[in-house]
Amino acid sequence: GAFLLYWSGQRLVANLVAPFRRDDAAISESLYRYHSRRGRGPNIVAIGGGSGLPSLLRGLSQHTANITAIVTMADDGGSSGRLRRELGLLPPGDLRSNMAALAADEALMTQLLRFRFGKRFDGDSEADGEISGHNFGNLLLAALTGITGSFDEALLAAERVLAMRGRVLPSTLEQVTLLADVLVDGGAEVVRVEGESEIPKAAGKIKQVYLNPADAAAYPPAIKAIFQADLIVLGPGSLYTSLIPNLLVPDLRAALEHARAPLIYVCNLVSQAGETDGYSVADHVAAITAYLPASRLLTALANSNVRPVYAEPANSANLHYNYVRPVPAQDVHLTTIDLVDPERPGRHDSAKLAQAVLAILDRGL
């Protein structure tokens, strides 16, 4: 079943991709040349995963096309996890989410790439075949990988097919697994949890996270992007399962240490169950700096509006967001501003977030 999906997906997009295939140069150089011709604007690298980062990219794309998103490859749940297990594919979900945010027709492409096969088209009953539960965007990247022959060529083809205002890169091309030591029973016991999707389910306090293999090689174009950046932004996104896994790739962490660009950490708006219950901004900053090079200076950006007015107050009664308190952190310059999207009060407002990030860059941190 999975093989048939894979094969049919290849047939579906082959004609779209054929004009973009490149055999005359290394893929990393193709990526570099392609994006060096993009529009002007600050060269910004954003590092994270697939949930919070698209909010930042969506806003930044209105100011610059020189955007590179670097995302974790530790996802093992849902459609991505199934494609990893059944096809040996690198997890496409986080890549797909961020690609949609940078697509030229973002509203349409977000709907298309997010589309999840679940219900039968001839009725309301749930589908139960092999395709059920898969996102179209994940299947598209799987098909592109088969057509082009490699995952990195598939990403280049997808950028062109989607007319993206920027690029999205994996932090590594290796199959990696995220592990965590979690304090349970009030801290009386430490358990080792394996798998990104399993960590929040442990219902304890995360003590430490690891990557297996610990020496996973960084994706070279990601390293190149970091060294060429005018600004590097960490987040927003799940602290332990989206942001920190990227910092566990040794070469990527070393690149952050030696890069000339300033570094901003964007703190999440709300706490995340199973990961950051009860965390303040200071707690988030302490966690992220523990995985950064000791010499790296950090500026933090956090939301100041912990009691937002909802766009539709009548519908707000059942919303119980635990907003992260803007408690300052030591040795870190903290900027606080209202970043809440009134239409989606648990998420960042893309325009507000991008403007705040660019304002920090303009004033020289």
pLDDT averaged over every residue in the chain: 85
| pLDDT tens for each residue of 318-334 | 455 788 887 776 778 89
> In the structure, what pLDDT confidence band is assigned to residue 19 with cuts at 50, 70 and 90?
very low
**What DSSP designation does 207 have?**
E
pLDDT reading at 286 higher than 50? yes
> In the structure, what pLDDT confidence band is assigned to residue 317 with cuts at 50, 70 and 90?
very low
Return the pLDDT at 4.
52
Q: Are 67 and 204 in contact (CB under 8 A)?
A: no
pLDDT reading at 240 higher than 50? yes
| Residue 132 tokens, joined | 């059920």
DSSP alpha helix (H) spans, 131-280: 136-148, 151-161, 220-228, 244-247, 250-258
Q: What is the C-alpha to C-alpha distance for residues 201 and 210, in angstroms, rounded to an integer? A: 17
| pLDDT tens for each residue of 246-285 | 999 999 999 999 999 999 999 999 999 899 999 999 999 9
Q: What is the C-alpha to C-alpha distance for residues 327 and 156, in angstroms, rounded to an integer? A: 41
| pLDDT tens for each residue of 132-164 | 777 888 889 999 999 999 999 999 999 988 889
- What's the whole-number mean pLDDT along residues 19-48? 61
pLDDT reading at 310 higher than 60? no
| pLDDT tens for each residue of 159-188 | 988 889 999 999 999 999 999 999 988 878
Q: Are 232 and 262 in contact (CB under 8 A)?
A: yes
pLDDT reading at 116 higher than 70? yes
**How many residues appear in the chain?**
365
Strands 189-194 and 177-184: antiparallel
DSSP alpha helix (H) spans, the chain: 2-17, 27-36, 53-60, 78-87, 93-102, 106-114, 136-148, 151-161, 220-228, 244-247, 250-258, 281-289, 350-362
- What's the whole-number mean pLDDT along residues 94-104? 91
pTM: 0.85
The more confidently predicted of residues 11 and 20 is 11
| pLDDT tens for each residue of 199-224 | 999 989 999 999 999 999 999 999 99
Return the pLDDT at 150.
94
Q: Are 49 and 242 in contact (CB under 8 A)?
A: yes
**% of the chain with per-residue pLDDT over 90:** 60
Return the pLDDT at 294.
82
> In the structure, what pLDDT confidence band is assigned to residue 287 with cuts at 50, 70 and 90?
very high
Q: What is the C-alpha to C-alpha distance for residues 358 and 247, in angstroms, rounded to an integer? A: 23
